Structure 1
Amino acid sequence: MQIYIFRHGIAETARPGQDDASRRLTPEGKEKLRRILEAARGAGVRPDVILSSHLKRAVETAALAQEILKIATSIMKTESLLPAESPEKVWEEIRQHREAKQVLLAGHEPQFSSLVSYLMGAPNARVEMKKGAMARVDIDSLGPRPAGVLVWLLTAKLAGA
């Protein structure tokens, strides 16, 4: 299974009294995500499953992925991708989609840096997931503990955004 960990793009600054969950992507954030997704499309990213946190900026990120990657599957919102959730909870969610060849996750920091390390079976490894970054981790077995390989990590800068 190929797992794509896709951090949301640049989001608007929270206004006084605004709920964090309602913060949207900025126009600049959307443009950078488009460039990253065009590069990802060229690399063969075609997820069978798209999972997203419930937060608006992650849902918008997943929707852009759906549009640019030309994916017909619907976006599934999950609590496991909320920023404070554990990598173990995300892994359990991924394991529910055994039939999928490619799974795309749209979510947040600090969870995603920890998640990439966890999926590699190296929880102490340090991985930096900047806004809009996408990592590909390949997993051969969906057992209780992952031991994947980090195949690539695409940042906005590398994508020319």
Structure 2
Amino acid sequence: MDLFLWRHAQAEDPGLGGDDLARCLTPEGEQHARRMAEWLGRHLPTGTRILCSPARRCEQTVRPLGRPFEFAAELAPGTSPQQVLALVRWPRARQAVLAVGHQPTLGECVARLLQVKGSECSVRKGSVWWLRTRERDGQLHTVVMAVQSPDTV
């Protein structure tokens, strides 16, 4: 299974008392989302299932990809890595999955899948982690295929 974890691009400052789910991308965030969408467009397998947090900044991040996607409450801020991994059906999904969400949850997913000590890895705004599961000698292993940042594409 291929799993792509995409953290939303740079968003507006949350401000005081504003609706966190309504925050929009900054102009720089929009540019980064377009860059990463171009990179993903070259690397996502046909038929990839695309799931997106209901937060506006995540929707704005995934839209430049130009592919159909579904909103998933399990990707909203504050959800657990267990919820995300159950949603994407790791490691047994039959198709590749792209999940667009938030830190620290995405970093916690990465840490869990790579068996990193500590509770999370840092996932930069706008970046993508591409992970693959494979079976060898009856054991499941997670392989990092790529970590891509909008600054480097």
TM-score, with normalisation over the residues of structure 1?
Answer: 0.80
User: In the comparison of the two structures, how many residue pairs are matched?
Assistant: 146
Alignment of 1:6-85 (within 5 A): 6-42=6-42, 44-46=43-45, 48-65=48-65, 67=66, 71=67, 74-85=68-79
- Of 93, 112, 120, the residue aligned with 1:98 is 93
Determine the structure 2 residue equivalent to 1:136. Answer: 130
Determine the structure 2 residue equivalent to 1:124. Answer: 117
Determine the structure 2 residue equivalent to 1:110. Answer: 104
**Contact kept in structure 1, 2:7 and 2:124, CA below 8 Å:** yes
Q: CA deviation at 1:93?
A: 0.8
Q: CA deviation at 1:41?
A: 2.6
Q: CA deviation at 1:51?
A: 0.7
Determine the structure 2 residue equivalent to 1:3. Answer: 3
Q: Distance in 1 between matches of 2:97 and 2:40?
A: 13
Q: Distance in 2 between matches of 1:156 and 1:49?
A: 22
- The C-alpha deviation readout for 1:18-49, integer Å capped at 9, x for no partner, is 2111001112101112112222333x224521
Seen in structure 2, the aligned counterparts of structure 1 residues 140 and 81 have a Cα distance that, compared at 3 Å, is same
**Contact kept in structure 2, 1:133 and 1:155, CA below 8 Å:** yes
**Contact kept in structure 2, 1:114 and 1:123, CA below 8 Å:** no
**Structure 2, unaligned stretches of length 5 or more?**
none
**Contact kept in structure 2, 1:14 and 1:23, CA below 8 Å:** yes
Equivalent residue letter for 1:83: P
RMSD of aligned residue pairs (Cα, Å)? 2.1
Q: Distance in 2 between matches of 1:17 and 1:116?
A: 31
Equivalent residue letter for 1:130: R
TM-score, with normalisation over the residues of structure 2?
Answer: 0.84
**Structure 1, unaligned stretches of length 5 or more?**
none
**Contact kept in structure 1, 2:37 and 2:62, CA below 8 Å:** no
Q: CA deviation at 1:83?
A: 2.5
Q: Which has the higher strand share?
A: 2
Q: Distance in 2 between matches of 1:39 and 1:157?
A: 12
**Contact kept in structure 1, 2:134 and 2:143, CA below 8 Å:** no
Asked if residue 150 in structure 1 is aligned to residue 144 in structure 2, the reply is: yes
Q: Using the aligned pairs only, state the percent identity.
A: 26
**Contact kept in structure 1, 2:75 and 2:84, CA below 8 Å:** yes
